Structure 1
Amino acid sequence: MKNLSPIAKLSIVINAVLIIAIAVFFYLQFGSTEKLAEKPVEKVVEATSSMQIAYVNIDTLLLNYKLSEELNDEFAKKQEKIKNDLERKAQKFQKEASDFQDKVKRGGFLTQKRAEEEQQKLIEKQQKLQILQNDLGNKLLADQQEMNKQLYNKITSFIAEYNESHKYKFIISNTTGGALLYGDPDCNITNEVLFGLNAIYDEDHK
């Protein structure tokens, strides 16, 4: 999961939270085989008509939601800056290590002790560089998780408010490779949700 993009991660998180809706739907619709056997047509019609379900394409939503674009741009810039800083430090260390090897080869140290001291300094620098790399990597991961959490909260909060007037029983996510294999286009509310989220974003950034 470390190699996935923020959008993909957030898609997985939202899909994992909402996937239970599908399980409940299938249980309610197909769980009682005896009752279906008694009145098959009526029961199926009753079950399907009582289920008010909509879905949101999370991939499309995150690609076009202005807040998602803003946060991902900021994260990408931060990631690039850290990468460049680490590369500069690594190149500087490699030069120092190469200079040390050249000095050893040409007998540039007066004593072996002096060479060993210089070698120990290089080892310590290398260790510090590795620690820095790990720390920055962990910080990036924490920033990414916080970004995903912020987007998740914004989206689910809006959907809850949106549903106060629409009264869906379930609003589930549709993601590439997710649990939803087919969704009637009439049940797709992605554009409505996207419009609402971007309207709020525009209002907040006036």
Structure 2
Amino acid sequence: MKNASLILNVILTIAVAVLYYLHFKDRQPDAPAVVAKPAEAKGKEIVYVNVDSLLTKYEYFKDTQKVLESKRFQLENELATKGRNLQNKAAFFQQQASQGKLTQEQGRATEVSLQKEQQDILAYRERAAQNLAVEEQNKNKELYDQIYDYLKKVNAQNKYQFVLGYTKGGGILFANPDADQTKVVLDGLNKEYKEKQTKKK
């Protein structure tokens, strides 16, 4: 019985193979479809500017950073001076109190006065830091506007579709150096900035 089943399976397999052969033997293989290559779309260029280079070599940005650094340094010095003055007053108060040169009422009044001065210094530091942050934000907006306006003016003939900002570790993983317009943009921006500075003088 097993042999009959095996023989039947072999016969069926051979029959299927013969039918398959007969069905496909006269057919010519289809010629591969010729896929028309689309004509290259000669569109507008996409270029990029290296943001790191732009920030380190654009004179406006460097000048702005110097001004902000100077203001930060002044603020730190001012706060350090105020802090030292407060420490000196507190040390003098402790010395006077330990020598019994102050009445209890004078001691409380001096303590309240020193605490208020400390709170004033902290409030001043917070206000000054906020003002500096706002100024930095405004300068960054000016920087962006200057770069945008310059690129818009240079691109008046719609030469570029996009000008991307490239920075290492940013969203663009690879940028072909042939599309790098950093030097051209930098030279133009610095030239314009120099002209503005000359007019101011």
* TM-score (structure 1 length as normaliser): 0.74
2:51 & 2:114 partners in 1: Cα distance?
49
Q: Which residue of 2 aligns with 1:78?
A: 71
2:36 & 2:152 partners in 1: Cα distance?
33
Confirm or deny that 1:89 pairs with 2:79: no
The SS at the match of 1:180 is: coil
Which structure has greater helix proportion? 1
Equivalent in 147, 154, 168 of residue 160 of structure 2: 168
Residue correspondence of structure 1 range 129-168 to structure 2 within 5 A: 129-165=121-157, 167-168=159-160
Identity %: 30
Residue correspondence of structure 1 range 7-22 to structure 2 within 5 A: none
1:199 & 1:102 partners in 2: Cα distance?
62
Q: Which residue of 2 aligns with 1:67?
A: 60
* TM-score (structure 2 length as normaliser): 0.76
Q: Which residue of 1 aligns with 2:104?
A: 112
What do residues 13-57 of structure 1 show as CA deviations (whole Å, max 9, x unaligned)? xxxxxxxxxxxxxxxxxxxxxxxxx999946x847x546210001
Q: Which residue of 2 aligns with 1:189?
A: 181
RMSD (Å) for aligned C-alpha atoms: 2.2
What do residues 59-91 of structure 1 show as CA deviations (whole Å, max 9, x unaligned)? 101111111111111111111111111110111
1:57 & 1:65 partners in 2: Cα distance?
12
In structure 2, runs of 5+ residues without a counterpart are: 1-32
1:187 & 1:76 partners in 2: Cα distance?
34
The SS at the match of 1:182 is: coil
2:157 & 2:145 partners in 1: Cα distance?
20
Structure label with greater radius of gyration? 2
The AA in structure 2 aligned to 1:192 is: V
The SS at the match of 1:71 is: helix
For this pair of structures, how many residues does the alignment match?
166
Cα distance change on mapping 1:40 and 1:51 into 2, 3 Å: farther
